[in-house]
């Protein structure tokens, strides 16, 4: 997460596995995940870090955050699981400030046909 700093929105936060990789002195994270079952473990992870993290059970497809309100949006292995991915990307674009950056990690289609169709 090198270089990610300021006000950060993480979409598809899960149980917060990315938290240890943020630069702790320069970051404020707003964590979004649609699945409330992730919340208890996510809140445990949040307790472990020395920077502010706000956790929200929300869909990345429809965010209540203001336009241009984030320096960075982060997502890892999440876009592949969002049903209306174009809508989510539009929302990411909307909430990023001018010059802000979207940092994402995704996998490609598996060469195994069974896995690919799954
Ligand atoms: C494969 S997990 C990745 C979790 C985490 N980013 C990581 O790398 O460990 C995908 C996550 O995206 C969340 N997710 C799926 N659809 C979503 C949506 N529409 N909005 C927000 N989060 C969503 C799931 O609940 C899940 O926690």
Instruction: Give per-residue pLDDT as tens, 40-86.
Output: 999 999 999 999 999 999 999 999 999 999 999 999 999 988 999 99
The pLDDT, as a whole number, for residue 108 is 83
Q: Between residues 101 and 115, which one has the greater pLDDT?
A: 101
The pLDDT of residue 22 is above 90:
yes
Ligand 1 pocket residue status of 78, Cβ below 6 Å = yes
- Ligand 1 and 19: CB distance under 6 A: no
Q: Is 16 in the pocket of ligand 1 (CB under 6 A)?
A: no
Is residue 31 pLDDT above 90, yes or no?
yes
Query: What is the DSSP code (8-state) at residue 96?
Result: E
Average pLDDT over residues 16-37: 95
Q: What is the mean pLDDT of residues 97-114?
A: 93
Ramachandran category for residue 99: left, alpha or beta (phi over 0 → left; psi -120 to 50 → alpha): left
Distance CA 50, CA 58 (A): 24
Pocket test for ligand 1, best of 16, 32, 81, 95 (most atoms within 8 A of CB): 81
Radius of gyration for the alpha carbons in the chain, expressed in angstroms and rounded: 14
| Domain limits, the chain | 6-117
Does the beta carbon of 74 sit less than 6 angstroms from any atom of ligand 1? no
Q: With DSSP H G I counted as helix, E B as strand and the rest as coil, what are the percentages for the chain, rounded to 5? A: 30, 30, 40
Indicate the average pLDDT of the chain: 95
Which strands make up the sheet holding 27-33, listed edge to edge?
53-57, 27-33, 6-11, 70-76, 96-105
Homologous superfamily, domain 6-117: Vaccinia Virus protein VP39 (3.40.50.150)
């Amino acid at each position: 997460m090198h270089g990610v700093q300021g006000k950060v929105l993480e979409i598809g936060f899960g149980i917060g596995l990315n938290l240890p990789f943020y630069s702790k002195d320069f970051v404020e994270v707003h964590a979004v995940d649609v699945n409330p079952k992730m919340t208890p473990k996510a809140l445990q992870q949040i307790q472990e870090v020395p920077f502010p993290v706000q956790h929200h059970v929300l869909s990345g497809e429809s965010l209540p955050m203001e336009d241009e309100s984030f320096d960075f949006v982060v997502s890892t292995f999440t876009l592949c699981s969002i049903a209306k991915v174009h809508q989510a990307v539009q929302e990411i674009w909307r909430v990023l400030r001018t010059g802000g950056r979207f940092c994402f990690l995704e996998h490609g289609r598996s060469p195994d046909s069974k896995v690919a169709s799954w």
